[in-house]
Structures are given as C-alpha cells and as structure tokens.
C-alpha cells in the first residue's frame, strides 16, 4: 500500500529521506538506524512509522513489524495501511482470528480496497471458514475482475469445500488472465490429480516447475501424479528432488516411502517411515500408510496398533477407520465400530472423500458381522459418492475395447507373427480385478527361479516410445497396431531389458498389471515366447468383489452396478477375441474356483506352463508383492448369493450368458 507523506521535524524528515535512499539501494541494515533516530526525534511521525513497519515485515521480523503497525494505529486510528499491515503481521504470527478483526475494520472503512478483501479471504481460508472466504474473494473480483490472485485463492477454497468443478473453473479463469501464473498452475495440477486426471495433472505441475523450479509443492504433486500413472521410478525421482532441497518435508518423505513400498522395496520404505515419524510423530498420514505396509508384510498386530495410533491422533479420520475395517474384524462391541457409526450420524466437517472411506469402512465392518443388508447399503452409498467424484466415459471405454479388437484383427496378428523379440522370460497374468489374477501371479513369483516385475516396466509406456518416437501423443490402439517387424522387436527388447535390469538371473518374471489385457495381441507379437495367463472367476463374484472394494486407481467403472456389468461383458468379449485370433495355446486359462479348491494341483499346472520345475515354495504365496500368510481358501466362492436381492442392475448388465455361468466342472 502507498506510504503517506506527513510533515515532521526537518531533521527527522531528512533522516527518513536518507533511509529511503538506502532502502532503494537494498541496504536495509543501513536504513534501520536512521529510521530509529528519526522516530526518537518524532515518535508519532506517521511516515517513519510506516516505513519502519514495512522494513521489519520485509526482514521477516513479524513481532517487530506488528509492534510498528500498532504504533501506526496509535498515531492514526483506523489508518488503512496500519490495519492492512497489522493483519499481515498477525497472520505471519499465526494469530489469524486477530488478523481477521483488523481486516473486518479495514473492509468496512474501505469497501473498495481489493487487497483488504483478498487478505480477508486468505485469513478465513486459514481458519477453514471456506464459504466466507469464497465470498471475500468474490467481492475482490467484483471490484477487480482481472485479479489473478483472487481467482487462484478462490479455487483453493472451493477445492477445500469439495466443489471441485467450480474450483477448476476458478483456476482456469486465473490462467486465462495470466497463463504463466505458476502458483495457479501448481494448484490446478493438485486439483486435477484429485479429479483422477493424472496425466493432465503431471503436465500442469511440470509447467509450473518450468516457471518456478523451487516450487516444492508442485514437485510433490508431480510425484503423486506420476505415482498414480504407475511411472514409479519418475515419482521416486520427484520426491527425492523435493527432499534434496527440503529434507524436513515429512509429506515428501512419506510419499517416497509409499512409492518404494509399491515397488516392493519394503525395507527401504520402513526406514523412511521411521524417519518421517521421528520428524512428525503425530502424522496420522504416515501412521496410516505404515500400518498398511506392516499388514502387507504379515505383521497384522503391529499394523492394527499403528493405525489405531492414527485414530487416536485424529478421532474423526474416516480413512483410518476404513483401513482398520479392511485388516481387522470388528465385533459388535468394538469401540471402533461405534466411532464409525457416530461419524456417520454426525458427518459435519467430513470431506466427500472422507464420506466415501467411511461408507466403505462400515460396509466392511457389517459384512464381517454377517449383516449383509446394512453392508450392501453402505457399499452402495460409498460407491454412489465415489462415482460422483470419478471421471468415467463409459461409451469411450467400451468403444476402445471394440477398436482394439478391430485394430488387432486375425489378419493383423498373422501379418506380425514371428518377428518379435524371442526372450521367453516374461509372464503376463491378466484378468478382471478381484478375479484372482494377483493370487496366480503370487504363486509364480514365489518360485525360487522366478520374480515379480512389480512396477519395473510398463509395457504400454515402452511401446509408446517405439510406436511414435518424439510424438507428444500416441494413438492407441492405432499406432500400436501399425508396428512392423523392427518396431515389434524393439518394443519386446525394450521391455525385456527393463525387467531384466532388476532380475538378471530369473527364469520367469511375472507382470500382473491389470490393463495389460488390452495389449495381449501386441504382447504376443512383440514377445512371441512370453507366457500369457488369463484368470477367470465367476462373473457375479468378480463384480461384487469389485463393487465392494475401494480401488486406489484404474477402475472407475466399478462404482455403478450397471457400468460394472457392462465393463465385464466388454472385458470378456475382448478376451474371447484374443483367444480366437492368437495361436492355439498362446493363452493359458485358469479358473479361480479350481485354484482355491485344489491349490497344489492348479499351481503345478501353472508352474509347468511357465517352464519351471515344481517347488513347494509356490504355495507360500506372496500375492502381488504382498505377503499372505493365511492359507488359500475357498470361502469367497458364491459370495454374491448373500447380496443377490440387491444385484438386479448387475445381473441385467451382465446378461444371461454371464450371470447364469454355472462355474463349470473343475479343470483336470
């Protein structure tokens, strides 16, 4: 704000002018004693008081700045500069309620002052009074419609309220005004990540970082977006870059631990979680994620105790209750269940994501108690809420699978036969989510001569680099299907090199990425000796398991029974297409029901198909990188019958040929 000029003693005025010259030259240390001498001569010199306050604020001395602004207001009660500066100093000191009082006085006396409304909105946001904050930002935009800071801060407040579409509109408005506004780009990237638009989020964060490489928040959000895109080595690099500059950032430390755990590097992850808890012992996020890793390692009691600690820190933390319900049977008298029910009765302050987690947690708890009606009601409510937050274009998704079948026709498969890379090490295990594909992959990965690819390679990503080198965008499936001999060999060799880099001695490397089912034609052509295993499970059991599971990523169709059933039909139609156009025996079919009823016999078939000798270690299953110490069981067969009265939309969408699947005789 503009510093007013007032008259004072001639000597004091000269000192002030000299101080201003020094400040203009960047010499704050030299200017400060001159201002103090001027104020000793005239303690009520308003000009000197304001310059001193601004100097202290600029040096980061918030307490001294506050004292100086109080002196301004003592000399001139109601002075706009004094009220504005006092509020800024109070906010810097964390005294936001007091700052808000000062800003209320300012905006009442100067209702046309954009900065007053903007700062008031920021103070209200810090106090989590987001609707009032949005109203303040709106008032600032009424006065100055082109104020990019007001648009940006308004978007942040709307995002906190769960108004994600409105928040995105606000960020987009800011970027129309100022396309290279780095803070808005960073915030927009974080919002796009929350909306599940991870590729766009990564691009937005990358642009923000080009403009401001020191923006650790944008770098952290870039890492999170890359993690969701399964570009885990890049995500690891992003989090390490944050920590190289800001080693105290607990969020980045925890995020790096999460990525390492997802890559199967559990010991490294545990060390990082420990380090994060040393810095922030009261971080419920770190405790939550540590609890899941402990559970994956089979340390169930430790996992429950760790997540219980998160709940004690944040008793209204819906995510923690959901995780407890996933890993621990809750009895009717368990206080955790009572706490979840109390949250559901009084959801004030819970975010839309919190409500999703809470409903899935209650669904899990009631299912464990055998109260299937209440369980389904909560699963359905959680799915409804999740679907409202999830971007899914069913027409495009189902159309894509039809396009894949057309692109990889029988003729296209015949044309590309026999030209790919001849390594026989990769094993691709596919199937609908919750179909048992991860169990089959775990059986194979447990073999002493085999290993899990985990997230070491993304066949689609590697192929894209070959299919359209240097292009910003690759058309799928068209660019993939147009590959010829050299391209197919290059794609197969690139994949083989990537997985071999981590497991150079393995005779079989198991890749269980769910979306690989779309790529089986290309996988066969690029790696003709690779094994492809398709795990099938009863469609109703598969779909019910999907519907009652809150996925982290990849399966947006699973939150509506009709969409889920239609996706399963399309998935099965594409698998039938692959069976028809690929050479006989290229796909090994395994029924989940057979596997859990007779694990050893089916495991032996599976291992033999991959060219390995039988080893009993294969029944000590590590499922998709997660240790499973309980024996394989058949209790989930026919689970859908407990929920049959509410599955009408699913049964209709599956159609009679799938819904009435009699499960068939066991495979010999």
d(Cα 136, Cα 118) in Å, to the nearest integer?
7
Q: 154-158, 161-165, 436-440, 600-604: lowest mean pLDDT where?
A: 161-165
Tell me: the pLDDT tens digits for 384-393? 999 998 888 9
pTM for this entry:
0.76
Residues 6+ apart with CB under 8 A from 233: none
- The fold adopted by the segment(s) 247-314 is 1.25.40
Report helix, strand or coil for 475. coil
Q: How far apart are CA 304 and CA 299, in angstroms?
A: 9
Q: In the 8-state DSSP scheme, what is residue 145?
A: T
Cβ(247)–Cβ(240) below 8 Å: no
pLDDT exceeds cutoff 90 at 10: no
pLDDT tens readout for residues 636-655: 888 999 999 999 999 999 98
Q: Which helix (H) or strand (E) holds 223?
A: helix 216-228
3-state secondary structure of 250: helix
Instruction: Give the mean pLDDT of the chain.
Output: 87
Confidence of residue 473 (pLDDT cuts 50, 70, 90): low
Distance of CA 311 to the CA centre of its chain: 21
Strands (E), 361-432: 426-430
pLDDT for residue 444: 94
The pLDDT score that the predictor gives to residue 100 is 82
Is residue 577 scored above 90 in pLDDT? yes
Tell me what pLDDT residue 170 has: 95
pLDDT at 470: 56
Residue 556 or 458, more confident = 556
What is the 8-class DSSP label of residue 656?
Answer: H
User: Please, is 386 exposed, middle or buried when counting C-beta atoms within 10 Å of its C-beta (0-12, 13-18, 19+)?
Assistant: buried
Answer whether CATH 1.10.540.10 is correct for domain 395-550+559-659.
Answer: no
- Closest listed residue to residue 357, CA positions, set 335, 386, 336: 386
CB burial string 209-238: b at 16+ within 10 A, e below: beebeebbbbbbbbbbbbbbbbbbebbbbb
Nearest to 640 by CA among 331, 332, 379, 386: 379
Q: How confident is the model at residue 547 (pLDDT cuts 50, 70, 90)?
A: very high
Q: Where are the domains of the chain?
A: 247-314, 335-386, 395-550+559-659
Cα 479 from Cα 463, distance rounded (Å): 10
What is d(CA 66, CA 77) in angstroms, rounded to the nearest whole number? Answer: 15
Per the rule left: phi > 0, alpha: psi between -120 and 50, beta: everything else, 411 is alpha
Q: Is 63 exposed, middle or buried (0-12, 13-18, 19+ CB in 10 A)?
A: exposed
CB 650 within 8 A of CB 565: yes
Question: Per-residue pLDDT tens for 487-542?
Answer: 899 989 989 998 888 888 999 999 998 889 999 999 999 999 999 999 999 999 99
Quickly state the pLDDT bin for 363 (edges 50, 70, 90).
Answer: very high
Rounded distance, CA 409 to CA 416, Å? 11
pLDDT > 90 fraction of the chain, expressed in percent and rounded: 57
């Amino acid at each position: 704000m503009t510093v007013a000029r007032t008259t004072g003693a001639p000597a004091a005025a000269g000192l002030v002018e000299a101080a201003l010259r020094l400040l203009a030259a960047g010499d704050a240390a030299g200017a400060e004693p001159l201002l103090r001498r001027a104020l000793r001569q005239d303690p009520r010199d308003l000009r000197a008081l304001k310059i001193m306050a601004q100097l202290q604020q600029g040096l980061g001395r918030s307490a001294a700045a506050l004292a100086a602004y109080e002196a301004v207001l003592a000399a001139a009660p109601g002075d706009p500069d004094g009220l504005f500066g006092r509020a800024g100093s109070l906010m810097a000191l964390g005294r936001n309620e007091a700052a808000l009082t000062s800003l209320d006085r300012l905006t009442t006396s100067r209702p046309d002052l954009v900065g007053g409304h903007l700062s008031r909105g920021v103070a209200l946001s810090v106090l989590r009074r987001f609707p009032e904050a949005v109203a303040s930002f709106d008032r600032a935009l009424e006065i100055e419609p082109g104020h990019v800071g007001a648009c940006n801060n308004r978007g942040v407040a709307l995002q906190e309220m769960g108004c994600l579409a409105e928040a995105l509109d606000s960020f987009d408005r800011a970027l129309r005004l100022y396309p290279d506004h780095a803070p808005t780009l960073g915030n927009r990237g974080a919002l796009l990540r929350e909306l599940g638009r991870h590729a766009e989020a990564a691009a937005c964060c990358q642009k923000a970082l080009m403009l401001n490489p020191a923006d650790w928040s944008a770098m952290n959000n870039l890492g999170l977006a890359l993690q969701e895109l399964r570009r885990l080595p890049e995500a690891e690099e992003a989090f390490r870059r944050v920590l190289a500059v800001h080693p105290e950032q607990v969020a980045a430390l925890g995020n790096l631990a999460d990525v390492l755990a997802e890559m199967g590097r559990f010991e490294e992850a545990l060390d990082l979680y420990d380090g994060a808890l040393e810095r922030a012992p009261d971080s419920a996020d770190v405790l939550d994620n540590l609890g899941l890793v402990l559970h994956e390692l089979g340390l169930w009691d430790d996992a429950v105790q760790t997540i219980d600690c998160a709940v004690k820190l944040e008793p209204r933390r819906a995510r923690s209750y959901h995780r407890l319900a996933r890993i621990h049977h809750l009895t009717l008298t368990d206080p955790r269940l009572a706490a979840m029910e109390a949250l559901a009765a009084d959801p004030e302050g819970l975010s839309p994501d919190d409500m999703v987690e809470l409903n899935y947690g209650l669904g899990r708890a009631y299912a464990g108690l055998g109260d299937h009606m209440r369980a389904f009601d909560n699963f359905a409510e959680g799915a409804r809420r999740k679907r409202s937050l999830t971007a899914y274009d069913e027409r495009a998704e189902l159309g894509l699978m039809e396009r894949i079948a057309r692109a990889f026709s029988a003729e296209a498969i015949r044309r590309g036969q026999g030209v790919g890379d001849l390594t026989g090490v990769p094993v691709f295990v596919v199937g609908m989510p919750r179909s048992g594909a991860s169990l089959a992959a775990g059986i194979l990965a447990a073999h002493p001569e085999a290993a899990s690819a985990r997230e070491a390679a993304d066949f689609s990503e590697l192929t894209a680099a070959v299919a359209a080198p240097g292009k910003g965008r690759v058309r799928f499936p068209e660019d993939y299907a147009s590959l010829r001999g050299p391209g197919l060999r290059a794609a197969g060799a690139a994949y083989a090199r990537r997985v071999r880099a981590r497991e150079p001695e393995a005779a079989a490397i198991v890749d269980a990425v769910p979306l690989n089912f779309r790529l089986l034609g290309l996988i066969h052509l690029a790696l003709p000796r690779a094994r492809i295993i398709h795990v099938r499970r009863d469609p109703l059991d598969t779909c019910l398991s999907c519907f009652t599971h809150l996925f982290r990523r990849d399966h947006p169709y699973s939150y509506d029974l009709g969409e889920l059933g239609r996706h399963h039909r399309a998935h099965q139609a594409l698998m039938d297409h692959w069976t028809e156009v690929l050479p006989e025996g290229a796909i090994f079919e395994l029924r989940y029901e057979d596997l859990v009823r007779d694990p050893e016999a089916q495991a032996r078939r599976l291992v033999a198909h991959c060219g390995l000798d039988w080893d009993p270690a294969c029944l000590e299953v590590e499922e998709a990188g997660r240790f499973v110490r309980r024996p394989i069981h058949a209790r989930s067969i026919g689970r859908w019958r407990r929920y049959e009265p509410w599955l009408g939309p699913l049964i209709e969408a599956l159609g009679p040929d799938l819904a009435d699947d009699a499960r068939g005789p066991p495979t010999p």
